[in-house]
Amino acid sequence: MTLLSTLLAFAVAIGVLVVFHELGHYSVARVCGVKVLRFSVGFGRPLLKWTSGPDKTEWTLCALPLGGYVRMLDERDPSQAVSPEDRPRAFNRQPVAKRIAIVAAGPVANFLLAIVLYTGLNLAGVTEPVARLAAPDAGTVAARAGLAGGELITGVRERVDGGDLGEAAPVRSWEDLRWKLVDPLLAGERVTLVVRAPGGTSEYSIDAGGVPLDATGEDDFMQRLGLVPSARVKVGSLLPGGAAEKADLRVGDEVTALDGHPLASAKALVDAVHAHAGRPLTLTIKRDGALRDVTLVPVADAADAGAPVGKIGAALASQMEMVTVRYGPVDAVSKGTQRTWDVTAFSLKMLGKMVIGQASLKNLSGPVTIADYAGRSARLGLDYFIAFLALVSISLGVLNLLPIPVLDGGYLLYYAVEAITGRAVSERWQSALQRIGLLCILLLSAVALFNDLSKLLR
């Protein structure tokens, strides 16, 4: 069932994104007076086909759904018989400005779709974790800055021209915090976090450039900085006759402290239990709004070889503090546009760093990873799936704008040369560059597929 839902979510995602991309090309081609012969979603054998419109445009749904295309009237295509009356409507006869507009319309449609999706999410409201910190691991950037856990991050200050700190940009959620740290991370800059804690408001300087850019897919830069959202640790289930049940722990109890010290995370409790085999451990729990101390003795697991490992016979559940982030109509559009720009800029910067070797090619993902995330986001809920669609739509737009022959960006490069020199790039040069571009795409696809398979094997 999980595989089926993943494949279905992937098909819906790719279908929506391809349709919008090709509708961009199609719509602008029609506005420019170019005759469109075929609008295809997918490649290969047509599964569904019909014609409509004054030009009898053929609409097809094909067997291989990884892409699509719009076929326009073009005298350079030997398979087309162009009648004299149709020649003015051929793509190759259009002024270079119109050709640029038609080709650029596909990626632009993807960016516009992302803005619409993000705007819709901003209007409806998105439930996200609160930007409250868990205790950072020792040695991380956050720990060295003096953060102890429990602080609520309310703003981020960045350096502006001249080196002075600018006004604090407000932080409304954990996701908001992530995006405010992306640019400083890529630029290797320091930022100042404005936090609110029981003792009042404080500021902490964070070296956002002090973590590696190479991601393995198993963590992210926030974790490597030591910035992890706090979560309440609760008892999820109990093993009959276990140390936890004997000590009168109950399902739903919230563990707030360990031997008198505030509990940093579920992992901290697990580590303490493992290290206290045969020795008493005092937990402070919250039950029905009241605090109480419970002392228990973790039992050594006889199945473990070597040093004894303590077990208490309880499963833990982490529950994050959540907040619903919602904006009015004007702010929703503004924030949606800003998020689309931020993701686009981040994608281009990461691609640039991969080209010059400052970031690992492991950051490239292929269809297997995309399908996996499509399924996961769909199972989490509609808002997560819409956010996933927006993200992949931007990625598709960025990819198609790369100046690689066979992609939209490659054709835009040809037309830019033509606009500057007044002469079209020769067919011979275009043919040679197309082969190079195809080789580049195949190599990138191979790397992305290798990364996908490596993640599956891990």
Q: Which residues does the annotation mark as catalytic?
A: 22
Structure tokens at 69: 């295309």
Spatial separation of the C-alpha atoms in residues 412 and 435, rounded to whole Å = 17
Q: What is the DSSP letter of 307?
A: S
Among residues 342, 324, 323, 325, the alpha carbon closest in space to that of 115 is found at: 342
| Contact present, 62 and 44 (Cβ < 8 Å) | yes
Query: Diameter of the chain by CA atoms?
Result: 93
- Indicate the helix (H) or strand (E) that contains 454: helix 427-457
Which residues neighbour 270 within 8 Å (Cβ) at sequence distance 6 or greater?
Answer: 316
Cα 166 to Cα 158: distance, rounded to the nearest angstrom: 6
Q: Are strands 322-325 and 314-320 parallel, antiparallel or unpaired?
A: unpaired
d(CA 244, CA 248): 7
Contact between 322 and 132 under an 8 Å Cβ cutoff? The reply is no
Lookup: tokens for 128: 């996200």
**In whole angstroms, what is the distance from residue 312 CA to residue 421 CA?**
77
Q: Phi then psi for 359, rounded to 5 degrees?
A: -135, 150
Return the closest-CA partner of residue 325 out of 383, 375, 381: 383
DSSP-H helix ranges across 307-381: 329-355, 367-380
The dihedral through the CA atoms of 395, 398, 404, 405 has a sign that is: positive
Output the six-digit token pair for 436. 């190079």
* CA separation, residue 237 to residues 244, 251, 315, 316 (Å): 10, 6, 5, 7
How far apart, in Å, are the Cα atoms of 421 and each of 8, 167, 428? 48, 46, 17
Q: Which residues pair with 234 in a beta bridge?
A: 254, 317
Q: Quick one: tokens of 148?
A: 């102890």
- Phi, psi dihedral angles at 96 (to 5 degrees): -60, -35
Contact 235, 211 (CB under 8 A): no
Residue 164: other Cβ atoms inside 10 A? 8
